[in-house]
Structure 1
Amino acid sequence: MSDEMQKSEADEEQVAEAQAGDTTSEEPYLNPLEAAELRIAELERDAAEMKEQLLRTIADMENLRRRTEKEVKDAKQFSVTSFARDMLAVADNLRRGLETIPDEERANAEGTLRALLDGTAMTEREMLKTLEKHGVKKLNPEGEKFDPNYHQAMFEVPNPEVPNNSVVQVVQAGYVIGTRVLRPAMVGVAKGGPKFVAKPDEQEAPSADPSDIEGIDKSV
């Protein structure tokens, strides 16, 4: 091979290597200022994403804290539910024991009978006070609007002079613990009177027709 051919091949190899090493046509040249601005923008995006993740984590933790507090509160409040429900029979018996004595005899009672009546009444009051201390409250809704959430209609009383759908008689007192009903109050409901108007200081209860309540006894 002649020297001229070898030289030509060598020149071609040098040109090819130069073209292979030249990347300016593929990647634009960035001066230091532009490169710094791009890096800053990238860091700002990363910081914004991290901030958003942090805020979501804080919100999740706050929701978890509130749920935990509510669960703990409910557990404390409703832990005595079964016991309180069992004690309602005792409260009923104390009340029945007092009501077996006619009003006139109770008013004129003396000696042993007076002591027995006073002791029974005191026991009932202390029991209700203790139950209330643990979140159990007695419902005695006479004169209030019938509320199917807390009352059970046992019979209707036709009376055009009494507001319609109001409780005119409490057959058996009800009890609640917190917002839960331990036992609905068994009541008689007025029918045929004017529309019930709640007092300004009373919260309007959901209206319901007692005839729609399952198990109502209209024979009384």
Structure 2
Amino acid sequence: MTVENSKVEEKLETAEEITIEKATDEESTAGQPEQDTSSEEQVVENTTDWQGKVDALANELAQAKDHMLRAQAEVQNVKRRAQQDVEKAHKFALDKFVESLLPVVDSLEKGIESTEQAEGSHEGIKEGMELTLKLFLDTLARFSVKPVDPEGEPFDPHFHQAMSTVPNPDVEPNTVLEVFQKGYTLNERVVRPAMVVVSKGS
């Protein structure tokens, strides 16, 4: 009987210990819900703060990208304008020089006309002047200088200068009837307009 009583007592002690442990665990966990709630609220607040910072940084990044793209576009525009200016400088650098040479061409043409109207034989002089004129015009052509001789063509105010208008029912109005003086272009740009007589309606 003594052995059985001791066993019973041990079981009772074990049961009491288990009961005490459970009670202790319940007491320790009784206050935890409030702590968990407050920590969750802090997490939400921290997340909101970080999201605001991320949005602000994303906005600043977008603005920086926009400024960069605008700056790149401006640099490209400046570069393109500079290239165009250089090309124009190369193409039209001889503008004034060509203009100063044109009276020499006019003089040679007038000299050839005068030999045709003069009495006597001037074939040698005429031939020499024609060769000189041809050489001169060929040289100008190598530098993209071309004559404008629009007789019989429609009047174009970009390339022609009307000295007078004459009624002529045989041709369409605004037709070039006569060229007083040839014009010239340099790379398709007018150096000197052709001086012309233009027809007008009756």
Shared fold per TM-score greater than 0.5:
yes
Matching of residue 144 in structure 1 with residue 158 in structure 2: no
In the TM superposition, residue 157 of structure 1 has moved relative to its aligned partner by 2.7
1:64 and 2:73 are equivalent in the alignment: no
Higher mean displacement: 29-38 or 133-142: 29-38
1:100 to 101, 114, 120: 114
More helix by share: 2
| Equivalent pair of 1:154/1:187 in contact (CA under 8 Å) | yes
Question: How does 1:52-131 map onto structure 2 within 5 Å?
Answer: 52-102=66-116, 113-114=123-124, 116-131=125-140
Aligned partner of residue 115 in structure 2, secondary structure:
coil
Q: Secondary structure at the match of 1:187?
A: strand
Residue 32 in structure 1 maps to residue 46 in structure 2: yes
CA contact (8 A) 1:175 1:181 kept: yes
Structure 1 runs not aligned, ≥5 long: 1-27, 194-220
Q: Which has the larger radius of gyration?
A: 2
3-state DSSP class of the match of 1:176?
Answer: strand
Judge which range, 163-172 or 77-86, deviates more. 77-86
Q: CA deviation at 1:54?
A: 0.9
Deviation for aligned residue 1:63: 0.9
Whole-Å separation in 1 of the counterparts to 2:58 and 2:128 = 78
Q: Which residue of 1 aligns with 2:65?
A: 51
Note the C-alpha offset of 1:137.
2.1
Looking at structure 2, the residues matched to 129 and 30 of structure 1 have their Cα atoms a distance apart, in angstroms, of 87
> Is this contact kept in 2: 1:77–1:134, CA < 8 A?
no
- Tell me the secondary structure at the aligned position of residue 181 of structure 1: strand
Structure 2 alignment gaps of length 5 or more: 1-41
Post-superposition offset of 1:29: 8.5
Aligned residues: 159
Q: Distance in 2 between matches of 1:33 and 1:95?
A: 91
Structure 2 CA distance for aligned equivalents of residues 43 and 88 of structure 1: 67
Once the 2 structures are TM-superposed, how far is the Cα of residue 124 of structure 1 from its aligned partner?
1.9
- Equivalence for 1:10: none
| Residue equivalent to 1:178 | 187
Matched AA of 1:40: V
